[in-house]
A and B are shown apart, each in its own frame.
Chain A
Amino acid sequence: MKINNLFVWLKQKPRIAFFMCLPLILMVACLIIYPFFYSIFLATLNKAETKFVGLANFLFLFKRETFWLVVQQSIFFALVAVFFKALIGFIAAHSINELPSKGQRKWRGMLLIPWVIPPALSTLGWWWLFEPTYSALNWLLEKLSVDAIPWLSETFWARFSIILVNIWVGAPFFLIMYLAALKSIPEDLYEAASIDGANYWQKLFFITLPMMKNIISITILFSIIVTFANFDIVRVLTRGGPIDTTHLFATYAFRVGIESGDIPLGAAVSLFMFPVLAVLSFIILRNVRKRTNEV
């Protein structure tokens, strides 16, 4: 009888729904909510984690030049990388869309490869290309009688290389999103536009871009979040060097917290990402909801 009652109790829809979501809720709680609050707690401790120091860690960071450098670098890195990813993704999507449908699959598959390989591994491959002693790129430059480039050891080139690899990894995501958006634009809009008198560029500006506006903005916002929080590329290529000039929030937090052993300070660094990401996520979610309502 008791088991029977349990089944009746379970049969109500909201309860069933809750239990079906429970594994995910537990996972989010363990891997996101708990660490988040724990890092807030950590950030208020002293280095030895023995004493509550309030906001002292944050105030300390404000006084550090390196910290402000990291802030600037993270913003610069995210904006430049996302801009080029979006641009290249758009051009590539357009080019593929112009191909006859037979060839499209092949190109789409090949161009997706950078995005599918785990970035830590592919970045290692790039590191070999950049690597000072046996750099394949420099070997090529030498053959062309151009001076070798200190890819990872000079601030400008190190930043350049990191952004380059990030674009290489991330552009296919834009490509695939834009391609889907392009395919959803009805062909007869372009036909109507050609009869209305639009040339190629006018069709691009008056038809294609406005029709893709939503996808473009969501993809860019999403990519800013992912790029802003990037860790592996910098970690593998430069470890933040030379002299901290390629650190991002995530790698700097790792350096301060794990490598230098000041976990509370590292937690404080990583918490600075939170407001930026929270605002962006909020905008995305609102955007998605608005689009859903429109449909």
Chain B
Amino acid sequence: MADVEIKDLHKIFDRTEAVRGIDLSIKDKEFVILVGPSGCGKSTVLRMIAGLEEVTEGDIYIGDKLVNDIPPKDRDIAMVFQSYALYPHMTVFENMSFGLRLRKFSKEDIKKRVEEAAKVLGISELLKRRPRQLSGGQRQRVAMGRAIVRNPKVFLFDEPLSNLDAKMRGQMRIEIKRVHQHLKTTTIYVTHDQVEAMTLADRVVVMKDGKIEQIGTPDEIYNFPRTGFVAGFIGSPAMNFIPGNIVKNKNGYSVFINKQISFYLDKEKEKKLEGLDGKDVLLGIRPEHINEKKSEDAIEYDVKIDLVEPLGMETMVYFTINKVQLCGRVSPENNLMSNNKATLNFNKNKFHIIDPKTDKVI
């Protein structure tokens, strides 16, 4: 068990800078997820923590120990790879016990630990098999078992579920969460799947272009994104972005999209809006905040529905405002149809105002 401290971390491959100054402190027992689009440097950060990539600049501490120049085997970490990286010529038992055997644990101890881990993961019957005789989900469990038996200070997961089918991914997600609750080992987990990030993490780190965009609990990241990128990346279907203007008059600041959709902003926000008078902004609103429910905060708007996507428990409707396609989320009871007219309600309190120049949420 240990906390992990990363200070001003950089990584330069040949001439491209993959990681450009990451500061992150991870508390003991915390489950932190690095999420971002491919090429954002999240895997590189993880591999530097593991010791598989050299650090170009900056410091990594595991516990209180500076590990920059310590080889992976002495960092007391365990890693689960996307490809599982199981040794194909070894049985499941041998795969799981390899690290222990190299570290000269006694035979009884190895047997005990492996059997215990196998029980936790439900793979006790598979110990004599070889990886090629296992299904994807089983291999993933073995890879986790290999990490668990060592009882390391930190678990590292590098996109562990992306080779599994959707159903298995859901199951393994629960499994990983269960194991973490059971063992309480500090965990750093890399994924590009925002559902994994939202469901598993204590804290989510959203990365883009080698930098951190935002760190926060899943709830914070979802409800209070700090940049347009975070707002658009987290959430599925993605947040809608509508171009609009900020207008100042004697009553204060208001947002103007078109004649029907314009509303005054809270007084609290006014300070931040200074200087944006008359400027173009992007207005972000999540699909669930465009629905059929009437309320005080809602702005009614008549639309012609382009497309309906029934999902069973809810229905996604697509329509166009100012030539931008938007998505709303309504109850299936409304029986909305393509090409029909409908009145939808936009929750004006749920708009995120984004300065398109800085990508910051105001």
Chain A contact residues, CB within 8 Å of chain B: 186, 188-189, 191-199, 202, 206-207, 210-211, 213
Contact = CB atoms under 8 A, between A and B. Distances in A.
B146 to A, nearest CB: 7
Give the 5 A-B residue pairs with the shortest CB-CB distance, closest first. Answer: A196-B99, A197-B73, A192-B85, A188-B85, A210-B89
Contacts of B79: 191-192, 195
Nearest to B89: A210
A195 B87 contact: no
Contact of B89 (A192, A202, A213): A213
B311 interface: no
- Name A's interface SS: helix
A209 to B, nearest CB: 10
A197 B102 CA distance: 6
A196 B77 CA distance: 9
Nearest to B75: A195
25 contacts: A186-B85, A189-B85, A191-B50, A191-B72, A191-B81, A191-B85, A192-B86, A192-B87, A194-B51, A194-B71, A195-B50, A195-B77, A195-B99, A196-B102, A197-B103, A198-B73, A198-B102, A199-B73, A202-B102, A206-B98, A207-B87, A210-B87, A210-B89, A211-B88, A213-B89
Contacts of A192: 79, 81, 85-87, 146
B78 interface: yes
Contacts of B103: 197
Contacts, number: 59
A195 B73 contact: yes
Contacts of A206: 87, 98
Given A196-B102, A198-B102, A202-B102, A189 B73 contact: no
Interface string B88-123: 111000000011001100000000000000000000
Contacts of B71: 194
B73 A211 contact: no
B66 interface: no
Which of A199, A202, A206 lies at the interface centre, i.e. has the most chain B CB atoms within 10 A of its CB? A206
A294 to B, nearest CB: 8
A188 B82 CA distance: 9
Contacts of B217: none
Contacts of B50: 191, 195
Contacts of B78: 195
Given A191-B52, A210-B89, A211-B89, A196 B98 contact: yes
Nearest to B152: A195
B85 to A, nearest CB: 4
Contact of A197 (B83, B86, B99): B99
B102 to A, nearest CB: 4
B146 A196 contact: yes
A238 B110 CA distance: 59
- Name B's interface SS: loop
Given A188-B83, A211-B88, A195 B72 contact: yes
A194 B73 contact: yes
A207 B87 CA distance: 7
Contacts of A191: 50, 52, 72, 79, 81, 85
Which of B86, B98, B103 lies at the interface centre, i.e. has the most chain A CB atoms within 10 A of its CB? B98
Interface residues on B, range: 20 to 34
A186 B52 contact: no
Nearest to B81: A188
A191 to B, nearest CB: 5
Contacts of B77: 195
B330 to A, nearest CB: 46
Contacts of B102: 196-198, 202
Contacts of B99: 195-197
A193 B52 CA distance: 11
Nearest to A191: B52
Contacts of A197: 73, 99, 102-103
A232 B212 CA distance: 68
A202 B73 CA distance: 12
A32 to B, nearest CB: 37
Contacts of A194: 51-52, 71-73
Interface in B276-335: none
Interface string B39-76: 00000000000111000000000000000000111000
Contacts of B73: 194-199
Which of A186, A194, A196, A202 lies at the interface centre, i.e. has the most chain B CB atoms within 10 A of its CB? A196
Contacts of B86: 192
Nearest to B156: A195
A191 B47 CA distance: 10
Contacts of B89: 210-211, 213
B84 to A, nearest CB: 9
B44 to A, nearest CB: 13
A207 B88 CA distance: 9
A240 B85 CA distance: 53
Nearest to B147: A195
A206 B90 CA distance: 9
Nearest to B52: A191
Contacts of A186: 83, 85
A292 to B, nearest CB: 15
Given A191-B72, A195-B52, 11 more contacts: A186-B85, A191-B50, A191-B79, A191-B81, A192-B81, A192-B85, A195-B73, A198-B98, A198-B102, A210-B89, A211-B88
B52 A189 contact: no
A207 B81 CA distance: 17
A188 B52 CA distance: 10
Nearest to A198: B102
Nearest to A210: B89
Contacts of A207: 87
Contacts of B85: 186, 188-189, 191-192
Which of A194, A197, A206 lies at the interface centre, i.e. has the most chain B CB atoms within 10 A of its CB? A197
